[in-house]
Structure 1
């Protein structure tokens, strides 16, 4: 669907893990091994997870020992499925056992792997995986795996859902009284989870046991809310541990979280002089401070490629600014750090910011590493605060992507911190306007067209254009502007500066729409809406499980004027459309002004979050929009 394409989302840490793991598994495991979301052949008969806090070593005083036991059953026919577990520099995999029909698999050698792309995408995230056989209908296979997390800071959440239907699942946490933490129960309403708490007097430990039965497989759907919104899970907030060597602090409050982040960024090893030369060169032609900030921001957006480096300590510590500058790539933290250092070298008050995108349901009222997944930069200028997200490659200065609008942000402020929110924007930020002035020549429509794009509409178009080789840029624009329709030809294309996205992007061209006019006797039938945006935007309510979050708020305006040929008049005008819902609006209509027919259309997305309860109304309104698109203008001879 044209309107639903998520335009240029950078890979936030949580989301990026999913993509990274999927790519890595493609290297480790055969493609046919991946189950469909509605696979009924294989189910999980029983899954047990045990998490026990134990004493560690001098470097990491507290460990979390984990034991997983999963029993799969084959219901219909033989199958082979992937079993995987992920880890990084702050966790390790222990013994792995597999049993097929009760017999232990001998010589089991799980594969362990890193991943790289083009020689420079590297992460300390690793995957341990192997293929598990279920030999025939009614047979069972079981996997037992031991894992240790070496630092409670990285032990943040436990989800109840699995990739298969789960008949029975049990989660047990063993928390000695010397370990102080909170366990927050998220999305439990209606999940059917039972909880039991007991006390192990011998080991002086509290034992929390959660059970769930008959749980459907997790379903991955496009444009769905993040899993923290929809699936039941536990968030573990480790505060501190009382050890023989004294108290070990983790995250009791947001100040503790900030202090840990602050230590990481203070220990980067930036070389200010190494980036100052570039900053001065980039800003040399800027006339004032605002222009200098814009110049530096735009330069980083265009010249530093976003590459994810997400897990372990690299998920939280930025790369050195001079390294990102030299390599011309970095993750969100490296790009934010470089941007900050370049601005600071020019004398600006720029600071690092931690933020959780809309993919995450939490804010900083909950002190845990799972609260944020992104880093940006803030700059204070002329009494105002601006947020700069260089991973949004083609979004303008003081414009904000939907994924960070309104989100709480943790701002660097020396030994303290500031909390703020990224400004929210209305659909007015993201406008797409098209004006066409047409006349009839035989069976064709010909004339001139002008486009204007702002905000995330600009970002989408420029992403497509700049992803194309320079010599093919004209061809790429042709394909986009014509919807790849060979009957819709454009020529004499003129654009504004495609390297300046802080101003409106404009495109002008001449068009020739062949065979757009159908003549029968004394009458002409003309379809003035060439693009028909969102005519296929129905939501399949029979299969959709989750709410649907549109990519961003948007306003699309289209106006076409058609000169009425001499000797003709308007016989009929299609009925107007006017739908005004609190979250969206669809409007279209025709009017006659002198010797012209004017067609105007407006599609507005005011709120991106469509609830399942709103799908029926949405589909009904899309059908009305589609019916309007089918109506044609009729001209007849006088």
Structure 2
């Protein structure tokens, strides 16, 4: 499991630099013929250093549907020459189609001094103006947000997470400009805090959700997103513009499925092929490109984002005569569903296929998860499914921990100071995905060698040999691993007594949460059940002197169980770790930490054997 002490640590807040004041203004204005409505944005930020001199990275993202018009900077009241760097945003050397970033370093020359940044930006299409968050990466003493909405512009503003935010609101009418002016102000706003495995910002921070419904322009009324029908119609218009080449895709799909007779096997074959052969490149939130890449382009380049991979999967299945559909979905990172008509509602795309009255969802970005198995991040999430000019809404099925099981059975005996024997592993669901992902990250020529290194935890004393595995390229079936084991120096001999520690892995021993640093709830990676069973043969001439006490912790969200039992000439150790619910709320932390402490104490216990 991925959870460990690194997962629950939090970064130290920068207390030297504060934002004395930040003002943001957003105004809907008339645009041009191509984009009749723009959103003019202006930001003024006063930075102060309270302890020692420093510098602040000033960064702003933009794309094909927005631009940074002007940037000014002042240090101690004097205008400074700003050398703003503009570049395409890239990951691993692969450039996004339209995402760009501009930025520079703003100096704060000495303790108590201020520097100021003024920035002008234009969003060329109000569809992409979706939310305003109050948090910044530094503490803000004061903040003011102003929206100017002419009466010819129809929008909806939802105040999210305002209950304890202390945000003051007001609305006035400017008769001269025939505009409603919304003002939001707050004081003492804590810095945003990036913590591993935390809920997404839309759950955590006060923000305004801006939904652009329509605009009355000189050339007529423009409808944006009044409801989910409008949202789907826009998505649908982008899909029609993709330009897929069915012939190219069909040739590959036929080759992949040439040995498959049943439709269900063809679906599995295509899904697995895309998972294994198309590299996933994640696009960040806020990218303006909502149109999937052409299926043939993804096929040729062998990489794509979620939209490109979903489109390729759909086109391959459709080429085989199967009923495949594109799906839009917001992962658990997002707090909204499709009752909110805005581009903020989703951040992901998958494929659905209907077969014999059953619907299956295919997310090829999850590289090693099996067919009809679903990652935690999309389980239970609402899905917008294409259906010609209409749409359907559904939900990805929920799965329990039973989908993700990890079973390890060891049969061991004592050989001098060593433990020797045979080990069997079985993995399903996201447990399979986790171990294969970890193994592939180890730079080895052969996957089997990487698995050995992973399973031994890179401990040379845990020597694995004669490894046999199931087909590591078919993760729709349970993955199994069998090997011979020699665990060197695992037995301590003191006079007439032997001391044996049977739990080598000690999963989650470092999963305690530092409540002095952690601010947000914790989402564990996925529901799962780990079962470990070790049978140790009692050597001739010895008997059991003592066995460690059992631990039996069963909470609503998780369970930790471990027990030792003597059965004839064997000692059987069985451990179960079950994560039933991945969401640990802050109120759960004390109980969780206490239970992890008990689990850790169990790991320290040893079996004691003594001569008869």
Alignment CA distance shift 1:520-1:118 (3 Å): closer
Contact 1:88/1:311, CA 8 A, preserved across alignment: no
Deviation at 1:287, TM superposition (A): 2.9
Structure 2 counterpart of 1:502: 476
Deviation at 1:473, TM superposition (A): 2.8
1:320 to 291, 294, 299: 294
Contact 1:124/1:312, CA 8 A, preserved across alignment: no
Contact 1:121/1:307, CA 8 A, preserved across alignment: no
Structure 1 residues 103-132: Cα deviation after superposition (integer angstroms, max 9, x where no partner): 111x32211111345554333111121111
Paired residue secondary structure (2:3): helix
Structure 2 counterpart of 1:511: 485
Structure 2 counterpart of 1:90: 65
Contact 2:560/2:599, CA 8 A, preserved across alignment: yes
Kindly report which structure 2 residues correspond to 1:405-444, keeping only aligned pairs within 5 A, or say none.
Answer: 405-444=379-418
Structure 1: stretches of 5+ with no match in the other structure: 8-35
Separation (CA, whole Å) in 2 of partners of 1:590 and 1:426: 27
Structure 2 counterpart of 1:3: 3
1:189 to 163, 170, 174: 163
Deviation at 1:474, TM superposition (A): 3.5
Kindly report which structure 2 residues correspond to 1:66-81, keeping only aligned pairs within 5 A, or say none.
Answer: 66-81=41-56
Structure 1 residues 149-185: Cα deviation after superposition (integer angstroms, max 9, x where no partner): 1111000000000111100000000001110010000
Deviation at 1:400, TM superposition (A): 0.2
Structure 2 counterpart of 1:400: 374
Q: Which has the higher mean CA deviation after the structures are superposed, 382-391 or 94-103?
A: 94-103
The TM-score normalised by the length of structure 2 is 0.97
Structure 1 residues 171-211: Cα deviation after superposition (integer angstroms, max 9, x where no partner): 00000111001000000111111001111011111100000
Contact 1:297/1:339, CA 8 A, preserved across alignment: yes
Deviation at 1:313, TM superposition (A): 7.4
1:242 to 200, 216, 231: 216
Separation (CA, whole Å) in 2 of partners of 1:382 and 1:535: 46
Q: What is the aligned residue count?
A: 609
Paired residue secondary structure (1:115): strand
2:78 to 103, 126, 129: 103
Contact 2:5/2:510, CA 8 A, preserved across alignment: no
CA RMSD after TM alignment: 1.5
Contact 1:81/1:132, CA 8 A, preserved across alignment: yes
Structure 2 counterpart of 1:532: 506
Deviation at 1:522, TM superposition (A): 1.5
Separation (CA, whole Å) in 2 of partners of 1:207 and 1:413: 40
Structure 2: stretches of 5+ with no match in the other structure: none
Deviation at 1:422, TM superposition (A): 0.1
Deviation at 1:262, TM superposition (A): 0.2
Structure 2 counterpart of 1:481: 455
Structure 1 counterpart of 2:201: 227
Contact 1:164/1:216, CA 8 A, preserved across alignment: yes
Alignment CA distance shift 1:424-1:134 (3 Å): same
Separation (CA, whole Å) in 2 of partners of 1:431 and 1:4: 19
1:126 to 81, 100, 117: 100
Contact 1:4/1:551, CA 8 A, preserved across alignment: no
Structure 1 residues 123-145: Cα deviation after superposition (integer angstroms, max 9, x where no partner): 31111211111111111111111
1:47 to 22, 43, 46: 22
Deviation at 1:315, TM superposition (A): 2.8
Structure 2 counterpart of 1:523: 497
Contact 1:465/1:476, CA 8 A, preserved across alignment: yes
Separation (CA, whole Å) in 2 of partners of 1:309 and 1:616: 37
Alignment CA distance shift 1:429-1:4 (3 Å): farther
Contact 2:64/2:288, CA 8 A, preserved across alignment: no
Structure 1 counterpart of 2:177: 203
Separation (CA, whole Å) in 1 of partners of 2:179 and 2:155: 13
Structure 1 residues 25-67: Cα deviation after superposition (integer angstroms, max 9, x where no partner): xxxxxxxxxxx75111111000000001111111111111111
Structure 1 counterpart of 2:36: 61
Separation (CA, whole Å) in 2 of partners of 1:123 and 1:311: 14
- The question of 1:450 aligning with 2:456 is answered no
Structure 2 counterpart of 1:595: 569
Contact 1:194/1:210, CA 8 A, preserved across alignment: yes
Contact 1:37/1:220, CA 8 A, preserved across alignment: no
Structure 2 counterpart of 1:152: 126
Deviation at 1:471, TM superposition (A): 2.7
Kindly report which structure 2 residues correspond to 1:548-587, keeping only aligned pairs within 5 A, or say none.
Answer: 548-587=522-561
Paired residue secondary structure (1:557): strand
Contact 2:439/2:454, CA 8 A, preserved across alignment: no
Alignment CA distance shift 1:171-1:303 (3 Å): same
Contact 2:467/2:483, CA 8 A, preserved across alignment: yes
- The question of 1:340 aligning with 2:314 is answered yes
Separation (CA, whole Å) in 1 of partners of 2:86 and 2:310: 32
Alignment CA distance shift 1:121-1:343 (3 Å): same
Structure 1 residues 494-543: Cα deviation after superposition (integer angstroms, max 9, x where no partner): 00001000000000000001111111121111101111001111100000
Paired residue secondary structure (1:324): helix
Structure 1 counterpart of 2:149: 175
Deviation at 1:464, TM superposition (A): 2.7
Paired residue secondary structure (1:257): helix
Separation (CA, whole Å) in 1 of partners of 2:205 and 2:222: 32
- The question of 1:367 aligning with 2:341 is answered yes
Separation (CA, whole Å) in 2 of partners of 1:526 and 1:444: 10
Deviation at 1:368, TM superposition (A): 0.1
The TM-score normalised by the length of structure 1 is 0.93
Contact 1:123/1:311, CA 8 A, preserved across alignment: no
Structure 1 counterpart of 2:516: 542
Kindly report which structure 2 residues correspond to 1:236-315, keeping only aligned pairs within 5 A, or say none.
Answer: 236-309=210-283, 315=289
Contact 2:61/2:99, CA 8 A, preserved across alignment: yes
Alignment CA distance shift 1:622-1:117 (3 Å): closer
Alignment CA distance shift 1:322-1:197 (3 Å): same
Separation (CA, whole Å) in 2 of partners of 1:617 and 1:120: 45
Contact 1:523/1:634, CA 8 A, preserved across alignment: yes
